[in-house]
Chains A and B, each alone.
Chain A
């Protein structure tokens, strides 16, 4: 069966231990998490998880159902890249001496539209946001020049392209059932 890259958007109450429960659902079904981001959402008290993985659509369905089954999870949905706006960010620590020796290095930084946020005689810090491929190609080009001291890439974050807000609708619907 065909596997694909899926992004899962999950909302939960802000209780301890939920991240554990969510990741355990992946582990038990032998699916690797490629990236993960957790933060407060726009709704007070609600946390948002953005998780990416490679799997079949059946598996993505099963994973989201099993996650949504957890008592304190509000919603879990999976998306393909064309259904969401996505972004990642990276920080690259470059060696200043190498950069001084090789003009190509700053050219690469400019060419990729990355920002230099700190420069001192030992190192420079470059930051870049974009899609995975853009970030990886920046890193690889710089790395090929032997300029990289450290590299870190964030988990993916995403919002849906849809014109309706499912979480709001869900919460509204549920609040009607409150006795």
Chain B
């Protein structure tokens, strides 16, 4: 006999079949049948009630970034769906695998401007890897399986399922589906042996190679393959913002961070190397600075899984299109053992210069107000460089990423391509579910914290062990820095009148402390880490501090400013 179940129940079974264990969501009219089905599955499908749908998506992103699994968010139609848009766009540009399920009005009233009807597919299409409207209960199993396959395979990304109410309530003779092939979609191209040989030849003949490590290495789980590749041919490497933990900070060949606020040595050496080997990165404008003057002297090899990234921003001499876990290993097999002592030692004086003029003053000041850099560096040390770093956007993000150190893969959760303020707090909540055994440290500014502050409620309810380090400078610091540097110090609407964050934390039962004195910092960090569960450590930091060094807009990577004097 046929066993008919509802489309909503079919969704639950399909999610379980995909191995989903956590979902972040918020109910509402058009998704109520799904929430009703969820009630019977709440043991296996652990649902986290967020306080705003934007928080659900960012939490799913945090979960996905640290775990490598697909993050799942649920929202209702109309306003609920629209609140997910920021996170979806963020996940698209940062290649984060997500499945976002939104309720939709009944197919019978679609197009009539029904209550809470929005053209979600129309909105979602340009910011998703795939967006699909489920109009019949028979399509649920197929659509869910296809959604997860697309989200996680190849270059990962967000998928939206727009789930019509009649498809949730309608009955179906459920049969599990398993999509692992789409004839119009080739997630992992495989380069020819010839291309692999050419890449190895170019590397074997290079005197001054430089490897650029991007998030693709983390997404491809190719951290070990990368290290073998680097070590065999003695290749110095530098990481993009999202690639920072793909190679341990302490690795002998790690030359630091690329980009606008990255390290001096790898940026300058980009314009001195004879071979640039980009792995799983997309030559973002924040990495390249002026493209006209970018690595003109060098041959360039680009390893990437996405053919549309090749020659998009920078023309390259050789493209190795595939999964870097395999392509790096194939090239490594053809590499000669080499040493580039002289070339590698040429990074040293630049590092010494940055250390003396920027890093030491930022992380070990002898006097003056507390600095963001020293807080980050002390927290990193106190966690033995083992923690997951989550940041919001702004100076807190740049100081966080620069001065945290990484010893394990998948340790950086930050909004790179989108720069979404408000990302940090919910992403950190998600990270505690994605890596429950790890310490999660969030660095956030007083502006960004207020953008998703309502997620304190989620932390309270879930007792999520997020260590929130609020770097409070009473300014929208990053914008203020640009105003100081490029707009004659005209601080147009960047001073921030702040509430008493400790009282807010206490209202949510989150223990907290405020420090403004250097002498109290270590003890406060120790207490934060020793306290089980969530904690808010508010650091009153220097108000007008600047993130340095910096490649000003339009300048070349080798024109980094070390300090700014106005």
- Which residues of A come within 8 Å of B, CB atoms? 12-13, 16-17, 20-21, 24, 28, 58, 61-62, 65-66, 68-69, 71-74, 171, 174-175, 177-179
Q: Is the interface of B mostly helix, strand, loop or mixed?
A: mixed
Q: In this complex, which of A28, A58, A69, A71 has the most chain B Cβ atoms within 10 angstroms of its Cβ?
A: A71
CB neighbours (8 Å) of B182 from chain A are: 71-72
Cα-based distance from A57 to B78 in the complex (angstroms): 41
Q: Is the CB of A65 within 8 A of B307?
A: yes
A-B contact pairs, 15 of them (CB 8 A): A28-B126, A65-B308, A66-B308, A68-B307, A71-B182, A71-B185, A72-B130, A72-B182, A74-B183, A74-B184, A174-B183, A174-B184, A174-B186, A175-B183, A178-B183
Cα-based distance from A98 to B365 in the complex (angstroms): 91
Cα-based distance from A20 to B462 in the complex (angstroms): 41
Cα-based distance from A17 to B308 in the complex (angstroms): 21
- Does B286 touch A at the CB level, under 8 Å? no
Q: Is the CB of A72 within 8 A of B125?
A: no
CB neighbours (8 Å) of A24 from chain B are: 125-126
- Does B129 touch A at the CB level, under 8 Å? yes
- Does B225 touch A at the CB level, under 8 Å? no
- Does B291 touch A at the CB level, under 8 Å? no
Q: In this complex, which of A16, A65, A74, A177 has the most chain B Cβ atoms within 10 angstroms of its Cβ?
A: A65
Cα-based distance from A62 to B310 in the complex (angstroms): 9
9 closest residue pairs by CB, A with B: A65-B308, A74-B184, A174-B183, A71-B130, A69-B308, A178-B181, A71-B185, A72-B184, A24-B126
Q: Is the CB of B186 within 8 A of A21?
A: no
- Which residues of B come within 8 Å of A, CB atoms? 121-122, 125-126, 129-131, 133, 150, 180-186, 306-308, 310-312
Cα-based distance from A24 to B307 in the complex (angstroms): 19
Q: Is the CB of B306 within 8 A of A69?
A: yes
A21 to B: closest C-beta gap in Å: 6
User: Which one of A58, A62, A71, A177 lies within 8 Å of B184 (CB-CB)?
Assistant: A71
Q: Is the CB of A179 within 8 A of B184?
A: no
Cα-based distance from A125 to B308 in the complex (angstroms): 47
CB neighbours (8 Å) of A16 from chain B are: 133
Residue in A closest to B186 when the chains form the complex, CB atoms? A174
Q: Is the CB of B129 within 8 A of A177?
A: no
Q: Is the CB of B184 within 8 A of A61?
A: no
CB neighbours (8 Å) of B122 from chain A are: 20
Cα-based distance from A20 to B121 in the complex (angstroms): 11
Q: Quick one: given A69-B308, A71-B130, are A179 and B181 in contact (CB under 8 Å)?
A: yes
Q: Is the interface of A mostly helix, strand, loop or mixed?
A: helix
B291 to A: closest C-beta gap in Å: 13
Q: Is the CB of B311 within 8 A of A61?
A: yes
A29 to B: closest C-beta gap in Å: 11
Q: Is the CB of A21 within 8 A of B125?
A: yes
CB neighbours (8 Å) of A61 from chain B are: 311
Cα-based distance from A177 to B122 in the complex (angstroms): 32
CB neighbours (8 Å) of A17 from chain B are: 121, 125, 131
Q: Is the CB of B312 within 8 A of A20?
A: no
Q: Is the CB of B125 within 8 A of A171?
A: no
CB neighbours (8 Å) of A72 from chain B are: 130, 182, 184-185
CB neighbours (8 Å) of B133 from chain A are: 16
A10 to B: closest C-beta gap in Å: 11
CB neighbours (8 Å) of B121 from chain A are: 17
Q: Is the CB of A73 within 8 A of B308?
A: no
CB neighbours (8 Å) of B180 from chain A are: 179
Beyond the given pairs A21-B126, A24-B125, A72-B184, 9 more chain A to chain B contacts, judged by CB atoms under 8 angstroms and listed by A's residue number, are A17-B131, A62-B312, A65-B310, A69-B306, A71-B150, A73-B184, A174-B184, A178-B181, A179-B180
Q: Quick one: given A61-B311, A65-B308, A71-B150, are A12 and B126 in contact (CB under 8 Å)?
A: no
CB neighbours (8 Å) of B129 from chain A are: 71
CB neighbours (8 Å) of A58 from chain B are: 311
Cα-based distance from A174 to B133 in the complex (angstroms): 26
CB neighbours (8 Å) of B307 from chain A are: 65, 68-69
CB neighbours (8 Å) of A174 from chain B are: 183-184, 186
Cα-based distance from A179 to B181 in the complex (angstroms): 7
CB neighbours (8 Å) of B131 from chain A are: 17
CB neighbours (8 Å) of A65 from chain B are: 307-308, 310
Q: In this complex, which of A21, A74, A174, A175 has the most chain B Cβ atoms within 10 angstroms of its Cβ?
A: A174
Cα-based distance from A103 to B133 in the complex (angstroms): 58
CB neighbours (8 Å) of A62 from chain B are: 308, 312
Residue in B closest to A74 when the chains form the complex, CB atoms? B184
Residue in B closest to A171 when the chains form the complex, CB atoms? B183
Q: Is the CB of A12 within 8 A of B184?
A: yes
Cα-based distance from A65 to B304 in the complex (angstroms): 14
CB neighbours (8 Å) of B310 from chain A are: 65
CB neighbours (8 Å) of A68 from chain B are: 307-308
Residue in A closest to B308 when the chains form the complex, CB atoms? A65
Q: In this complex, which of A17, A62, A66, A179 has the most chain B Cβ atoms within 10 angstroms of its Cβ?
A: A17
A76 to B: closest C-beta gap in Å: 11
B182 to A: closest C-beta gap in Å: 7
Q: Is the CB of A177 within 8 A of B181?
A: yes
Cα-based distance from A161 to B307 in the complex (angstroms): 26
CB neighbours (8 Å) of A28 from chain B are: 126
B312 to A: closest C-beta gap in Å: 7
Residue in B closest to A174 when the chains form the complex, CB atoms? B183
A28 to B: closest C-beta gap in Å: 7
A102 to B: closest C-beta gap in Å: 49
CB neighbours (8 Å) of A178 from chain B are: 181, 183
Residue in B closest to A25 when the chains form the complex, CB atoms? B126
Cα-based distance from A62 to B308 in the complex (angstroms): 7
Residue in B closest to A28 when the chains form the complex, CB atoms? B126
Cα-based distance from A21 to B306 in the complex (angstroms): 18
